Amino acid sequence: MALVSAEVLPLTTSDHIVIVRQAVRQRAVDLGFSLVDQTKIVTAASELARNAIQHGGGGRATIEAVTDGLRRGLRLTFEDDGPGIADIELAMRDGYSSAGGLGLGLSGSKRLSNEFSIASSNGKGTRVIITRWK
Amino acid sequence: MERIPILKMGEFLLVSIQVDMHDRLALQLQDDLTERIAATSARGVLIDISSLEMVDSFIGRMLGNLAAMSRVLDAQTVVVGMRPAVAITLVELGMSLPGVRTALNVERGMDLLSSSADLQVPGREHGAGLR
C-alpha cells in the first residue's frame, strides 16, 4: 500500500467530530467515492472520532489517501492516549457500551469499512485503523 | 448560541435540521423541543432530516430520544426525508431506529400525523373517512 497524502486532525472536543467528518467527506469526494461509500466512511469516522474523545479522553485522527496497485482508498487512523480497552472482544460486540451509548461505535464502524484493525493496551491508549477502497 | 428553529404549524411542530449536527446542538434540540411541545400542547412533531448527509449512532439515538420524549408528552413524532445513502449506512451501522416513525417526505409525514391525531381523538372535527 502506498501513501498519497496525509492530514492529521486533533480530537479533543465534540466540535472536532464535525471537522473530521467534513475532512473525510472532502477526501472521499476527491477520490471519487460513490455517495453511499462517502456516507459509510464519514459515518464510521464520526463513530470512531467520538469514541476517541469520549472513551479515550482525546487524541488525533489521521486521514490518508492510499493506493494499492490500481485501487485507491481512504485510510483513517484514530488514536487516543486513554486508559485502553481491557477486553477488545467484548468492546467489539454489538450493543456493548461502557458509557451508556448504544454500543455500535466499534462494531458498526467495522461493518462500514473494508478493512478494520484495533490495537489497545492498558494505560497506553487505543488505535483503530479503517480503510475503505473505492 | 446556535439553535435549530422549531416552527409551529397548527397543532404540529416542524423541525428542519439544516446544519451538520454536532453533539451540543443535538442536546439543545431535545431541551427546546420538549419545552415547545409542553408550551404549545402540540399533538405531533415532524422532523425533517433531508439536509443531513449522515446519521451516526449519536444522532440516531437523539432521534429515538426525541420520539420517546414526545410520546410521553402526548405528541407523535415522524422523521421525514432521510436520504437513501443515509438509510443504507444507518442499517449497516446496526441502527434501524426502533420506535421512530418515518415517512418519505414532509407531505406524507403530515398526512401520517393528521391521521394519527384523528385516530387518537375520535370526537375531534377533522377530515372524514377515518372514523
The CATH number given to whatever domain includes residue B61 is 3.30.750.24
User: Does residue B125 sit within a domain?
Assistant: no
Which range (A42-46, A75-79, B2-6, B43-47) has the least confidence? B2-6
Triad B86, B91, B96: Cα angle to 5°: 105
User: Does residue B56 sit within a domain?
Assistant: yes
User: Does residue B130 sit within a domain?
Assistant: no
pLDDT at site A101? 65
pLDDT at site B70? 95
Alpha helices in chain A (DSSP H): 15-30, 35-54, 88-91, 105-111
**Domain span holding position B82:** 6-120
Query: Locate cell 462517502: which residue?
Result: A38
Is B92 exposed, middle or buried (CB count within 10 Å of its CB: 0-12, 13-18, 19+)? middle
B 9-68 residues with CB < 8 A to A: 20, 22-24, 53-58, 60-61
Mean pLDDT of all residues in chain B?
Answer: 88
CB contact under 8 A, B56 and A102: no
Classify A38 as helix, strand or coil. Answer: helix
Is A88 exposed, middle or buried (CB count within 10 Å of its CB: 0-12, 13-18, 19+)? middle
ipTM associated with this complex: 0.90
User: Does residue B129 sit within a domain?
Assistant: no
A 9-38 residues with CB < 8 A to B: 14-15, 17-18, 21-22, 25, 35-36, 38
For B88-108, what is the mean pLDDT? 93
Give which of B81, B90, B60 is closest to A42, Cα–Cα. Answer: B90
| Residues of chain A below pLDDT 50 | none
Confidence band, pLDDT 50/70/90 cuts, at residue B129? very low
In order of their start, the domains of chain A are 2-133 (3.30.565.10)
- pTM for this entry: 0.89
Nearest residue in B to A40, CA atom: B89
User: Does residue B48 sit within a domain?
Assistant: yes
pLDDT tens digits, A8-24: 999 999 999 999 999 99
**Distance between B91 CA and the closest CA of chain A, angstroms:** 9
Q: Which three cell numbers stand for residue B25?
A: 446542538
User: Does residue B62 sit within a domain?
Assistant: yes
User: Does residue B84 sit within a domain?
Assistant: yes
Q: Tell me how many domains chain B contains.
A: 1
B 63-122 residues with CB < 8 A to A: 83-86, 88-90, 92-95
pLDDT at site B131? 44
Give which of B27, B34, B39 is closest to B3, Cα–Cα. Answer: B27
